[in-house]
Amino acid sequence: MMYASGVATTAKWVLVVDDDEDNRDSVVEMLQGAGYIATAAPEGAAALRMMGESAPALVVSDLRMPGMDGRELLTRTRQLLGSSAPPFVFLTGLAPEFADVAATFVSKPCDFDELLGVVGRHCRA
């Protein structure tokens, strides 16, 4: 597998997208501690640029962000990557109301064990 910087690895790359720096950093640190290659984007446009270079195994994204929200990021990722689009896990403090969106939802504040379990299920080879 190639990760966005071009470094070859067998670990799974997880892209974390959140406008809240503390949330973003804590999720990245937790994922890295569990052996994933986790990188962060502060907003949707930056995430799309990163995915234009290489597709991650999974995107963990805040649902509500200024500018491009998580739902729009998912739509634009699917347009950009087509069948290579990664699965999405949305972190949200709101009840998931998007039955038409094929994604997994994890409530905020997130329980790291729950999030690691969800990430692990999505990233199995």
Q: By C-alpha distance, which of 70, 78, 89, 84 is closest to 31?
A: 89
Domains of the chain: 13-120 (3.40.50.2300)
pLDDT computed for residue 105 by the predictor: 79
Q: Kind and range of the H or E element at 88?
A: strand 88-92
- Please answer whether residues 70 and 90 qualify as being in contact, where contact means their C-beta atoms are separated by less than 8 angstroms: yes
pLDDT computed for residue 93 by the predictor: 74
Q: At what angle do helices 112-123 and 21-33 cross, to 10 degrees?
A: 60
pLDDT computed for residue 102 by the predictor: 62
pLDDT computed for residue 79 by the predictor: 95
pLDDT computed for residue 80 by the predictor: 94
pLDDT computed for residue 40 by the predictor: 96
pLDDT computed for residue 98 by the predictor: 56
pLDDT computed for residue 64 by the predictor: 87
SS3 116: helix
Q: List, in order, residues 6 or more apart from 62 with CB less than 8 Å away.
A: 17, 18, 19, 20, 23, 70, 90, 91, 92
Residue 7 φ/ψ, nearest 5 degrees: -80, 130
Please give the average pLDDT of every successive group of 10 residues along the chain, which has 125 residues.
42 92 94 94 96 93 90 94 92 64 75 89 76
d(CA 15, CA 43) in angstroms, rounded, equals: 11
Q: Which residue is it, tokens 């080879």?
A: 125
Residue 62 φ/ψ, nearest 5 degrees: -65, 145
